[in-house]
C-alpha cells in the first residue's frame, strides 16, 4: 500500500502561492514586491480550482506561480531594494533629530541607483520581441509626455518621455514607416510597420489634462520607469540600423520656443538638418568615430535582423527595382466572394504621397500631429503660424510657394473669396492672404481630415469635398472592415438594404406623399376664395346638382378596395398563381380603368396606380419567400441535437442583434437624407 499524501503539498496547491506568502519569502515590502513584479513581467494568476489551492477557503486571494516567485529570489534588484530601505531609515532618523543637512547628504550620496538594462535584455532576447511589446510602452510614454508636472509626476520624467517620443517620431519620419492613423474620441491612433511588425499606439489630444485623486501614480510611474529604458534601447537600435547617430542633437532654445520635433537635429549618411533625407543637398558633417560605431552595429552578422537590414540597404540592379516598384493586389474571382486582405503600401509609396507639396498649417489646426504625419508621407516643407512655435519652414502665410493650406474655420462669403492685391514699392501687385477675409489664388484650402483620409486610403482625395466649411464625409477607422450584412457608411442605401426593407420604404414614401397631398387639398379647400366659390355655387343649384350619384364604376372600385383590404388583413392559403398578377391581366385592368375614368370625367394616374400595385405584389412575394426560408430553417433545426441547437441559438442571437443595429443605422441615415433633400428643395 502506497503512502498517503497529505493535503496541500502537491498538485495545484504546490504550483500556486499567495501574495502574502511571496512577500514573506522574499523579505521585502508590498510596494517593492509590486515594483519588482512589474519590472520582471510577472503578473497574478487565477487557478482553475481555487478551493484546492486555498485549502478550502473562498476568500478573495491573489495567487502567483511558485516558480515565478522562486525565480525572483535570484534577482539583483532585491539587494538594491534592501540598500534603499537601509538608507531610508538613516534619513528618517536624521530628520527626527532635526539634522536636515545630514539627511540631504545621505540622500545625495547613499541612495542606490537602479538600472534596468539587464531586465530589458532578459525579457526581450531578440529585437523583434521588443518591437512586438512596444504598443503599450509608446501609449504610456505619450500619455505622460502630455501630462502637467505635479507632485506625483515630476517634470524630469515628463521631459524624458517627451524626448524619447520625439526621437521615435523622427525615426518614423525618416524611414517612412507610418501606415495608418485615426482620429478617435480618446486621441489619435497611429500604426507604423517597423521590420515587419505592426506597432499601434495612442497619442492624447493637446488638451489641459486634469488628473484625479483616484489614480495610482506609483504603479504607473513604475511602468514608465521600465518603458523609458525599453524605448531608449529600441531607439538606439533603430537609429543605428539606418545609419543615424544616436542620440540626436537637442537644441534646448528651440524647444523652449515650442520647436518640439524641430529641436532635434539628426546626423548620419544622407540626412539633412531637418531630419529628411537629402536630395542633392549638402550633407551634414558627421563625427567619424560615431559614424564608424553606427556602421559597425548596423552591419553586425549572425542575426536575421542584421541580414535583412543589410539586404535592404544594399544597392540592387535596375531589373530588380522595376520588379519591386509596386506590390501585388489580390482581387476576388466572384462578386459574392470574401474580400481578401490587401497588402500594405511600401515605404516608397508612402514617401511619395505628399511629395512636391508645401503645406501651411493655420493657427487653429492641430500642429503637432500634422507636423509628424506630413513629413512621414513625403512632404519636405511644412510651415505654420508663428504663434504655434519655432521650427517651421515659413511663418509667412502669403508665401507663394505654399500649395496647400490646412484650415479649420467656416466657409468664406462670395465677397471675401479672393485675395486683395497689395501694391509694393516697385508698383507690382502682390497678393497678401488674410484668412478668413481672403484666399491666395492657386492655393488649395482643405480641412485637417483630408490628410488623415488620404493616408488611410493611400491616395490623394478630392480636396473640394474637404473644403473649409463643407460637410465632411464620415471618418472611419482603417482597421475595421465592414462584413457582409453589416452597415457600411461608404455604400449607398440601395446596395445594402434588404429587398423587403426597400419595398417597405417605397410604400412609406408613397403614403407620406399621399398624406402631404391630402393635407394640401384640405388647406386649399379651407381658404377664403374656395369657400366663396362654394357659396356662390350653392346659391345657383340646378337640376341634378348637389346629389351624390353612385355609378357602377364607383361600386366596382369600392368592391375592389374592400377585396384588397381583406387580402391585406389575411393572406390565407394563397397560391403562387393567385399572388402573382400576370402582365396581360394588369394591362386589361388598367385599360378598363382608363375607359371608366374617361366616361365619368374623373382624373386618374394609371402609371402611379400600376407602380403601387407592382410594389405591393413584390413586397408580398418577398415576405412569402422570407417566411418559407424561416420555415425551412426551423425544420432543419429539428434535426440537430440539443447541444448544437443551443449553440445555433446563441449564434442567431448575435446575428439578429447585428442585423437590428444595421437596420437602425440605415433608418437613421434615411431620415437624415430625407431631411437634407427637403432642405435643399426649400
pLDDT at 163 over 80: yes
Which of 87, 72, 99, 175 minimizes the C-alpha distance to 131? 175
User: What is the Cα–Cα distance from 498 to 623, expressed in whole angstroms?
Assistant: 11
Residue 535's pLDDT band, with cuts at 50, 70 and 90, is very low
Residue carrying the nine cell digits 538608507: 87
Residue 304 to residue 611: CA distance in whole angstroms: 69
Cα–Cα distance, 54 to 17 (Å, whole number)? 9
Q: Is the per-residue pLDDT at 110 higher than 90?
A: no
Contact between 371 and 178 (Cβ < 8 Å): no
Confidence band, pLDDT 50/70/90 cuts, at residue 398: confident
Most confident of 107-111, 495-499, 608-612: 107-111
Question: Which is more confidently placed, 544 or 479?
Answer: 479
Give pLDDT, residue 542: 42
CB atoms near residue 374 (< 10 Å): 24
Q: What is the 3-state secondary structure (H, E, C) of 516-539?
A: HHHHHHHHHHCCHHHHHHHHHHHH
Between 234-243, 302-311, 348-357, the lowest mean confidence (pLDDT) is in 302-311
Q: Which three cell numbers stand for residue 261?
A: 520635433
* Contacts for 568-575: CB closer than 8 Å, 24+ residues apart: 571/620, 571/624
Q: What gap in Å lies between CA 609 and CA 584, rounded to an integer?
A: 16
User: Which residues are within 8 A (CB) of 459 and not within 5 positions of it... i.e. 6 or more apart?
Assistant: 353
**501: Cβ–Cβ under 8 A, 6 or more apart, which residues?**
663, 666
Cα–Cα distances in angstroms (integers) from residue 223 to residues 36, 381, 560, in the given order = 11, 37, 79
Lowest-confidence region among 168-172, 253-257, 504-508: 504-508
How many CB atoms neighbour CB 35 within 10 A? 22
Lowest model confidence (mean pLDDT) among 321-325, 412-416, 663-667:
321-325
DSSP string, 80-94: HHHHHHHHHHHHHHH
On the 0-12 / 13-18 / 19+ scale of CB atoms within 10 A, 364 is: middle
Classify residue 417 by its DSSP letter.
S
Q: What is the DSSP string of 299-325?
A: T--SSHHHHHHHHHHS---HHHHHHTS
SS3 content of the chain, % helix, strand, coil (to 5): 55, 10, 40
Q: Among residues 380, 336, 330, 334, which one has the least CA distance to residue 354?
A: 380
CA distance 300 to 302: 7
Q: In the predicted model, what is the mean pLDDT of residues 599-622?
A: 64
Confidence of residue 523 (pLDDT cuts 50, 70, 90): low
Q: Give pLDDT tens digits for 305-336.
A: 434 433 433 333 434 333 444 455 556 555 55
Prior bond of 436 cis (ω within 30°): yes
Query: If 0-12 CB within 10 Å is exposed, 13-18 middle and 19+ buried, where does residue 371 land?
Result: buried
Alpha carbons 642 and 659: distance in angstroms, whole number: 25
Tell me the three cell numbers of residue 45: 494568476
- Mean pLDDT lowest among 30-44, 273-287, 665-679: 273-287
**In this predicted structure, what is the pLDDT of residue 611?**
60
Q: Are 398 and 431 in contact (CB under 8 A)?
A: yes
- Residue 207 to residue 617: CA distance in whole angstroms: 58
Return d(Cα 123, Cα 130) in angstroms, integer. Answer: 8
Integer Cα distance of 42 and 332 in angstroms: 46
Least confident of 1-5, 69-73, 468-472, 507-511: 507-511
The number of helices, as runs of H, and strands, as runs of E, in the chain is 27, 13
d(CA 80, CA 113): 8
Maximum pairwise Cα distance, the chain: 125
Overall average pLDDT of the 457-466 stretch: 90
**pLDDT greater than 80 at residue 414:** no
361 forms bridges with which residues in the sheet?
384, 406
First to last CA, the chain: 97
Q: How confident is residue 48, by pLDDT bands cut at 50, 70 and 90?
A: confident
CB-based burial of residue 165 (10 Å sphere; 0-12 exposed, 13-18 middle, 19+ buried)?
A: buried
Sequence-distant (≥ 6) Cβ neighbours of residue 390 within 8 angstroms: 254, 257, 258, 259, 262
Residue 514 pLDDT: 62
User: DSSP letter at 115?
Assistant: -
Contact (CB, 8 A) for 455 and 172: no
User: Where do runs of H (alpha helix) occur along 110-243?
Assistant: 117-123, 127-132, 134-145, 155-175, 217-241
> What's the pLDDT at 393?
86
Range with the lowest mean pLDDT among 70-74, 262-266, 374-378, 592-596? Answer: 592-596
The residues, ordered by sequence, that sit 6+ positions from 659 with a Cβ below 8 Å of its Cβ are 485
Q: pLDDT per residue over 61-86, tens digit each?
A: 889 999 999 999 988 999 999 998 89
* Domains of the chain, earliest start first: 12-109 (no CATH), 117-310 (no CATH), 348-480 (3.40.50.10190), 487-516+586-596+607-682 (no CATH)
The rounded distance, in Å, linking the Cα atoms of 131 and 111 is 33
Strand-pair category, 404-406 with 358-361: parallel
Q: What are phi and psi of 358, to 5 degrees?
A: -120, 120
Which has the minimum average pLDDT: 138-147, 488-497, 610-619? 610-619
The dihedral built from the CA positions of residue 295, 300, 301 and 304, taken in this order, carries a sign that is negative
pLDDT tens across 173-220, in order?
Answer: 999 999 999 999 999 999 999 998 999 999 999 888 777 777 888 899
Tell me the sheet residues that pair with 45: 63
The owner of cell 439578429 is 656
List residues bridging with 199 in a β-sheet.
192
Q: Is the pTM of this model over 0.85?
A: no
Give backbone dihedrals phi and psi of 435, rounded to 5 degrees, phi first.
-70, 135
Q: Which residues contact 150 (CB under 8 A, 6 or more apart)?
A: 211
Whether residue 353 is predicted with pLDDT greater than 80 in this model: the reply is yes
Please tell me the number of Cα atoms within 13 Å of 666 on its side-chain side. 21
b/e sequence 580-599, b meaning 16+ C-beta within 10 Å: eeeeeeeeebeeebeebeee
254-288 pLDDT, tens digit per residue, is 888 888 888 888 888 655 544 444 333 333 444 55
Residue 467 pLDDT > 70, yes or no? Answer: yes
Please compute Rg for the chain using Cα positions: 37
Contacts 24+ apart (CB under 8 A), 282-291: 286/245, 287/245, 290/245, 291/243, 291/245
φ, ψ of residue 211 in degrees (nearest 5): -90, 130
Tell me if 438 sits within 8 A of 419, measured CB to CB: yes
Rounded to an integer, the average pLDDT of 296-311 is 43
Residue 383 is given by DSSP the state E
Identify the band that residue 372 occupies on the pLDDT scale cut at 50, 70 and 90: very high
Residue-level pLDDT at 143: 93
- What's the length of the chain? 682
Amino acid at each position: 500500500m502506497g503512502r498517503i499524501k497529505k493535503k496541500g503539498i502537491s498538485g495545484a496547491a504546490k504550483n500556486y502561492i499567495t501574495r502574502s506568502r511571496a512577500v514573506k519569502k522574499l523579505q521585502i515590502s508590498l510596494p517593492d514586491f509590486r515594483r519588482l513584479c512589474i519590472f520582471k513581467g510577472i503578473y497574478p494568476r487565477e487557478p482553475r480550482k481555487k478551493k484546492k489551492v486555498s485549502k478550502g477557503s473562498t476568500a478573495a486571494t491573489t495567487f502567483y506561480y511558485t516558480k515565478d516567485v522562486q525565480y525572483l529570489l535570484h534577482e539583483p534588484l532585491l539587494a538594491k531594494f534592501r540598500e534603499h530601505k537601509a538608507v531610508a531609515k538613516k534619513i528618517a532618523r536624521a530628520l527626527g533629530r532635526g539634522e536636515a543637512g545630514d539627511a540631504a547628504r545621505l540622500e545625495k550620496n547613499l541612495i542606490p541607483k537602479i538600472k534596468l538594462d539587464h531586465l530589458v535584455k532578459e525579457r526581450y532576447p531578440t529585437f523583434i520581441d521588443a518591437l512586438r511589446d512596444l504598443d503599450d510602452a509608446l501609449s504610456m510614454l505619450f500619455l505622460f509626455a502630455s501630462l502637467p508636472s505635479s507632485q506625483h509626476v515630476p517634470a524630469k520624467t515628463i521631459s524624458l518621455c517627451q524626448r524619447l517620443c520625439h526621437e521615435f517620431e523622427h525615426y518614423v519620419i525618416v524611414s517612412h514607416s507610418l501606415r495608418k492613423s485615426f482620429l478617435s474620441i480618446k486621441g489619435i491612433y497611429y500604426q507604423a510597420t517597423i521590420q515587419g511588425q505592426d506597432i499601434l499606439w495612442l497619442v492624447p489630444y493637446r488638451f489641459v489634462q486634469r488628473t484625479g485623486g483616484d489614480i495610482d501614480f506609483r504603479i504607473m510611474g513604475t511602468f514608465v520607469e521600465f518603458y523609458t529604458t525599453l524605448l531608449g534601447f529600441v531607439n538606439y537600435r533603430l537609429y543605428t540600423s539606418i545609419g543615424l547617430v544616436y542620440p540626436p542633437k537637442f537644441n534646448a532654445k528651440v524647444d523652449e520656443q515650442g520647436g518640439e520635433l524641430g529641436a532635434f537635429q539628426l546626423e548620419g549618411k544622407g540626412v539633412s538638418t531637418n531630419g529628411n533625407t537629402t536630395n542633392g543637398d549638402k550633407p551634414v558633417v558627421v563625427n567619424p568615430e560615431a559614424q564608424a560605431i553606427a556602421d559597425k552595429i548596423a552591419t553586425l552578422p549572425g542575426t536575421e535582423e542584421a541580414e535583412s537590414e543589410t539586404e535592404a540597404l544594399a544597392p540592387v540592379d535596375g531589373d530588380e527595382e522595376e520588379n519591386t516598384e509596386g506590390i501585388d493586389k489580390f482581387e476576388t474571382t466572384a462578386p459574392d466572394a470574401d474580400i481578401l486582405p490587401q497588402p500594405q503600401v511600401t515605404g516608397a509609396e508612402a514617401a511619395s504621397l505628399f511629395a512636391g507639396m508645401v503645406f501651411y498649417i493655420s493657427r487653429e489646426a492641430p500642429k503637432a500631429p500634422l507636423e509628424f504625419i506630413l513629413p512621414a508621407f513625403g512632404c519636405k516643407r511644412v510651415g505654420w503660424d508663428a504663434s504655434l512655435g519655432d521650427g517651421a519652414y515659413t511663418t509667412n502665410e502669403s508665401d507663394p510657394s505654399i500649395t496647400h493650406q490646412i484650415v479649420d474655420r467656416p466657409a468664406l462669403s462670395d465677397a471675401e473669396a479672393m485675395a486683395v492685391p497689395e501694391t509694393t514699392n516697385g508698383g507690382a501687385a502682390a497678393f497678401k492672404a488674410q484668412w478668413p477675409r481672403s484666399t491666395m489664388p492657386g492655393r488649395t484650402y482643405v480641412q485637417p481630415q483630408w490628410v488623415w483620409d488620404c493616408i488611410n486610403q493611400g491616395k490623394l482625395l478630392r480636396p473640394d469635398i474637404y473644403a473649409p466649411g463643407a460637410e465632411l464625409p464620415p471618418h472611419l477607422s482603417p482597421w475595421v472592415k465592414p462584413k457582409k450584412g453589416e452597415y457600411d457608411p461608404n455604400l449607398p442605401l440601395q446596395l445594402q438594404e434588404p429587398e423587403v426593407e426597400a419595398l417597405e420604404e417605397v410604400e412609406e414614401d408613397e403614403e407620406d406623399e399621399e398624406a402631404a397631398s391630402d393635407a394640401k387639398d384640405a388647406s386649399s379647400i379651407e381658404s377664403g376664395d374656395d369657400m366663396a366659390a362654394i357659396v356662390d355655387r350653392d346659391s345657383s343649384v340646378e337640376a341634378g346638382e348637389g346629389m351624390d350619384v353612385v355609378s357602377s364604376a364607383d361600386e366596382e372600385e369600392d368592391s375592389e378596395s374592400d377585396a384588397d383590404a381583406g387580402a391585406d388583413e389575411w393572406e390565407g392559403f394563397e397560391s403562387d398563381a393567385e399572388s402573382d398578377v400576370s402582365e396581360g391581366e394588369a394591362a386589361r385592368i388598367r385599360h378598363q380603368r382608363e375607359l371608366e375614368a374617361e366616361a365619368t370625367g374623373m382624373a386618374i394616374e394609371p402609371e402611379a396606380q400600376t407602380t403601387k400595385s407592382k410594389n405591393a405584389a413584390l413586397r408580398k412575394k418577398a415576405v412569402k419567400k422570407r417566411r418559407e426560408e424561416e420555415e425551412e430553417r426551423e425544420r432543419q433545426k429539428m434535426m440537430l441535437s440539443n447541444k448544437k441547437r443551443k449553440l445555433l441559438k446563441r449564434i442567431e442571437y448575435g446575428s439578429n442583434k447585428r442585423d437590428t443595429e444595421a437596420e437602425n443605422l440605415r433608418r437613421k441615415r434615411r431620415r437624415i437624407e430625407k431631411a437634407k433633400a427637403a432642405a435643399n428643395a426649400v
